[in-house]
Amino acid sequence: MLVSSRSSVINPRSWYQTEMSVLVYNSSEVMSWLLIPPKGKKAKGKKVAPAPSVAKKHEAKKVVNPLFEKRPKNYGIGQDIQPKRDLTRFVKWPRYIRLQRQRSILYKRLKVPPAINQFTQALDRQTATQLFKLAHKYRPETKQEKRQRLLARAEQKAAGKGDTPTKRPPVLRAGVNTVTSLVESKKAQLVIIGHDVDPIELVVFLPALCRKMGVPYCIVKGKARLGRLVHRKTCTSVAFTQTNPAISSVNTVFTGFVLIDKGALAKLVEAIKTNYNDRYEEIRRHWGGGIMGPQVHSPHHEAGEGKGQGTGNQALLNCLE
pLDDT at 208 over 90: yes
Q: Is residue 70 part of a domain?
A: no
Q: Is residue 121 part of a domain?
A: yes
Q: Looking at the 3D structure of the chain, how many domains does it have?
A: 1
Amino acid in the structure at residue 19: E
pLDDT computed for residue 47 by the predictor: 74
88-127 per-position pLDDT tens digit:
889 999 999 999 899 889 989 999 999 999 999 999 999 9
Give dist(CA 305, CA 297) in Å, integer. Answer: 12
* Rounded mean pLDDT, 64-79: 90
pLDDT computed for residue 244 by the predictor: 77
Average confidence score pLDDT of the chain: 81
Q: Is residue 142 part of a domain?
A: yes
Give dist(CA 220, CA 77) in Å, integer. Answer: 53
State the residue range of the domain holding 240.
117-284
% of the chain beyond a pLDDT of 70: 73
* Rounded mean pLDDT, 204-231: 95
Give dist(CA 13, CA 21) in Å, integer. Answer: 12
Give dist(CA 311, CA 234) in Å, integer. Answer: 42
pLDDT at 1 over 50: no
pLDDT at 75 over 50: yes
Reported as a pLDDT band with limits 50, 70 and 90, residue 243 is: confident
Give dist(CA 106, CA 87) in Å, integer. Answer: 24
186-198 per-position pLDDT tens digit:
999 999 999 999 8
Q: Is residue 296 part of a domain?
A: no
Q: Which of 47-61, 151-165, 240-254 has the lowest mean pLDDT?
A: 240-254
Q: Which CATH number belongs to the domain containing residue 208 in this structure?
A: 3.30.1330.30
Cα–Cα nearest to 173, from 163, 187, 154, 157: 187
135-145 per-position pLDDT tens digit:
999 999 999 99
Helix H or strand E encompassing 289: strand 288-289
pLDDT computed for residue 255 by the predictor: 40
Q: Which of 98-107, 132-141, 283-292, 311-320 has the lowest mean pLDDT?
A: 311-320
Which residues neighbour 66 within 8 Å (Cβ) at sequence distance 6 or greater?
none
Amino acid in the structure at residue 155: E
pLDDT at 163 over 50: yes
pLDDT computed for residue 320 by the predictor: 52
β-strand partners of 133: none
pLDDT computed for residue 315 by the predictor: 54
Q: Is residue 41 part of a domain?
A: no
Q: Is residue 295 part of a domain?
A: no
Cα distances (Å, whole numbers) of residue 249 to 76, 193, 253, 321:
68, 25, 12, 54
pLDDT at 56 over 80: no
Which tops the pLDDT comparison, 253 or 145?
145
